[in-house]
Amino acid sequence: MISAATLSDLSVLELAEPRPRAPVRREAASARPASESGESPLLRIRGVTLEYRTPARVVRATHRIDLDIHEADRFVLLGPSGCGKSTLLKAAAGFIAPVEGEITLAGVPVRGPGPDRIVVFQEFDQLPPWKTVAQNVAFPLRAARSLGRREAQERARHYIDKVGLTPFADSYPHQLSGGMKQRVAIARALAMQPKVLLMDEPFAALDALTRRRMQEELLALWDEARFTLLFVTHSIEEALVVGNRVALLSPHPGRVRAEINSHEFDLGSIGSRAFQAAVQRLHTRLFETDPETRAPTRTTAS
Ligand SMILES: Nc1ncnc2c1ncn2[C@@H]1O[C@H](COP(=O)(O)OP(=O)(O)OP(=O)(O)O)[C@@H](O)[C@H]1O
Ligand SMILES: [Mg+2]
């Protein structure tokens, strides 16, 4: 049962909520967000329907999704299992083409994968096991022909240092923990200096403590490099901590149910009354009966 007070709170969260004037935390005085200056979004998702076609049937994963992701946004897709979060991320990466609508990056339609959009997945086995940490990070820089050997090594070293793995630069993936492998994958992605970093539940397989530390590191890296992040999670808490903007997707097929600003929260907010209230509001919003499908939604609150 949703109380009148909760409903009135929720009305604040509805789709048309304007972007905040200062959507990023610990903002340097000089770094004004693009949204403030009225610039167009970096990644624009317009009316995007995504489907999987098998000989037996067609599975609609998302239905007419509209989202604007601005430069330096940490934009989170939050929704229950099967609502199409990963599919939408894959479409932004260019692995899947919409059956309806369009995705543009800096005004250019996304037609396939490219080095301007790098994905970090949940799995720990994203790294070729025969390459050292340093080789894993430097290899895509060489493969994309963007840098010479010396420059690639230097840039790799820089990002390995940023994720705190310099002592392990010559180690192989099997010598690292899951969290360390994930850091290598993040260093490798950031070293490519993509226009958008796409992360699909990158910390979901980590223990709670390591997950918290990785969230902290990601935010510290963002503070420094101000990359644009599109981040998928089904954890409400993680969405509020990592994101400055959160899109709530309804269950299968995913539709945008609401969009909220979450820039006022960071790891230090966890446990505060405001944070708990925001978790509760999102929880209610995600669990309430979906008017389209009449089915209750499912997600986790941690
Ligand atoms: N390769 C595929 N072929 C057919 N259907 C698929 C395929 N991949 C995903 N689907 C279907 O598309 C829908 C969306 O899947 P998707 O993986 O995008 O969900 P998700 O929100 O990422 O879920 P989760 O939180 O469990 O990762 C689901 O119904 C799923 O069964
Ligand atoms: Mg997924």
pLDDT in tens, 118-160: 999 988 788 999 999 999 999 999 887 778 899 999 999 999 9
Q: Are strands 256-261 and 245-249 parallel, antiparallel or unpaired?
A: antiparallel
pLDDT band at 37 (very low <50, low <70, confident <90, very high): low
Please state the pTM of the whole predicted model: 0.85
Query: Which segment of 131-135, 232-236, 285-289 scores lowest on mean pLDDT?
Result: 285-289
Amino acid at position 218, single letter? L
* Nearest residue (CA) to ligand 1, atom 13: 61
**84: pLDDT strictly greater than 50:** yes
pLDDT value of residue 77: 97
Q: Which CATH number fits domain 38-116+195-302: 3.40.50.300, 3.20.20.150, 3.40.50.10490, 3.40.50.2300?
A: 3.40.50.300
Nearest Cα residue to 33 out of 73, 68, 67, 69: 73
Tokens of 164: 């705190």
- How far apart are the C-alpha atoms of 182 and 168, rounded to whole Å? 13
Residues with CB under 6 A from ligand 1: 52, 59, 61, 79, 81-87, 234, 252
Tokens of 125: 């086995």
pLDDT value of residue 8: 32
**86: pLDDT strictly greater than 80:** yes
Distance 85 CA to ligand 2 centre (A): 6
Mutate to test the pocket of ligand 1, among 51, 63, 86, 248 (most ligand atoms within 8 A of CB): 86
Q: Coil, helix or strand for 296?
A: strand
- How far apart are the C-alpha atoms of 153 and 134, rounded to whole Å? 7
pLDDT value of residue 219: 94
* Nearest residue (CA) to ligand 1, atom 28: 82
Taking ligand 2, which is a single-atom ion, which protein residues have CB atoms under 5 Å away? 86
- Asked if residue 46 lies in contact with residue 67, where contact means CB atoms within 8 angstroms, the answer is no
In the chain, residues under CATH classification 3.40.50.300 are 38-116+195-302
